[in-house]
A and B are shown apart, each in its own frame.
Chain A
Amino acid sequence: MPESKEARELVLRIAEIIIGELKLEEITPETFDPDMDLVDELGVDSMDLATVALVLQDEYGVFIDEDDYPTLKTVRLIAEYLSAKMAAGKNA
């Protein structure tokens, strides 16, 4: 199924936040592979991920449980996680 415009924008924004917070060079949101493993391939560690999670939490107004950090392994998985949280929030 093709990716919706909203989903694509969410992926790009998450990539932008990661690039900004981790001060990554020579990569843009557009060139950031959303399926790249952040831990294995990018070398993200727990403190980096916690920082990104806190910024995402601020931006999207959702609660990201500390226990869920290990599941947030790619930009796409983060986007799906946030989408589900936001949808659950709207339906609550």
Chain B
Amino acid sequence: MVNAASGWRQGDHAAAEPVRRQDAPAEGAVPRRWKFSELLAEPAVGERWEKVRRYFFLRESTYDMTNRCNIRCDGCYYYEGAKQFACENDDPEAWRGLMRQEKSRGITYVVLAGAEPSLVPELLAVCFAEMPLGCIATNGVRRIADAVGYRLHISVWGNDATSFRVRKARGMLGRQIENYRGDPRAVFVYTFTRENIGEAAAVVGTLADADCRVTFNVFSAPVGYSGPLRHDAASLLRTREVMGEMRERYPRHVLFSPYNVVAHTHGRGLHDLFGCSYPRRNASTAIGLGRSFRQFRADLTWDRDAACCVPDTDCADCRHYAAGSAVVTARLYRHVTDPLSFKAWLDYVDTYLAVWVMGYEPGEALCPELIDPPEGRGSGT
């Protein structure tokens, strides 16, 4: 049965299946093979391609800044696995040296994360001075100085009652808004868990009323986690519907394309759909993330076997927004099969850039339909 509101079929594997596309070839017909130049010939598509390709120079790595946090959340990625036990290096000159080394090996974009970067403002200033493009993942409780001109991702896990229960912090949303209302660096990241789907409308509404921009994350269980936040097929379907509603209701404030909705609420996780290209799942060091990506711990060491954007996530359950930003984007080749797939990919990349790069403004979605991701898995490059 097709859900008229969301365009998705319902059933046992509801979360996995978008509806059949209007442009799909008739059964038995040989699908047309499109030339890349033909796909680019449509002016809006060619224009968007030129807009996004200017950012192909971005090469990311991620860095845990400290092993401290001012709140403690259920299902936190940082406090899983070995990385939480790394001795933090709080020497600004050591960080300056690391940033210079990173630059010399071609890194152009840094993601400063675990456990709570706002607790080490001096290190943030050093990183920004050395590497001007990047993002800080923060809980938003403590304001990061304006001089640090990185994109800021402020994590939101539901309404205040839920935040108190899951994050043990009172009045989270109000404090986050107070700190970052009208701040062009800020993008609030609403993480859909199995439990907070029904709260999203009110929270996103509050953020939009405060003129704060929002993107979406989907809770991806840490290895071994089987608690109540973990999604199932029904919760993914409901998440997808709510994401669609939020897109329609707050188009100026929600940074999430229809293809983002598909990729992040699909019954199959990102690795299964696209083939994760982070070193943890990709042995190749020839080119791409497998070659350049490192995930540094707070002691400035890194481990290839653990290196991905959200270490200690169960890869089979990974629908994390940061993972998708790299994994879906890297799969250009898979999406040049037909105009709609390519448009959907361009929308995804446009969203990724708007969420991660200061000053990048997204365009209108080129593919408003919810379409299937391409078949097959990647080699990991």
Contacts and interface: CB of A to CB of B under 8 A. Distances in A.
Chain B associates with chain A: yes
Interface of A: 39, 43-51, 53-55, 57-58, 66-67, 69-70, 73
Q: Is the interface of B mostly helix, strand, loop or mixed?
A: loop
Nearest to B277: A46
B333 A48 contact: no
Interface residues of B, number: 25
The 5 closest A-B pairs by CB, nearest first: A46-B288, A70-B286, A54-B36, A47-B56, A67-B379
A66 B37 contact: no
A46 B334 CA distance: 13
Interface of B: 35-37, 53, 56-57, 59, 106, 277, 284, 286-289, 291-292, 329-330, 332-334, 336, 378-379, 381
Contacts of B333: 50, 53-54, 66
Contacts of A51: 53, 56, 332
A48 B55 CA distance: 11
30 contacts: A43-B106, A45-B57, A45-B287, A45-B288, A45-B292, A46-B277, A46-B287, A46-B288, A46-B289, A46-B381, A47-B330, A47-B332, A50-B332, A50-B333, A51-B53, A51-B56, A51-B332, A53-B333, A54-B332, A54-B333, A58-B37, A66-B333, A66-B334, A66-B378, A67-B381, A69-B286, A69-B287, A70-B286, A70-B287, A70-B381
Contacts of A55: 36-37
Given A46-B330, A47-B329, 18 more contacts: A45-B288, A45-B292, A46-B381, A47-B332, A49-B287, A51-B53, A51-B332, A55-B36, A57-B35, A58-B35, A66-B379, A66-B381, A67-B381, A69-B287, A69-B381, A70-B284, A70-B286, A73-B286
Nearest to B56: A47
A35 B332 CA distance: 26
Nearest to B37: A58
Contacts of B381: 46, 66-67, 69-70
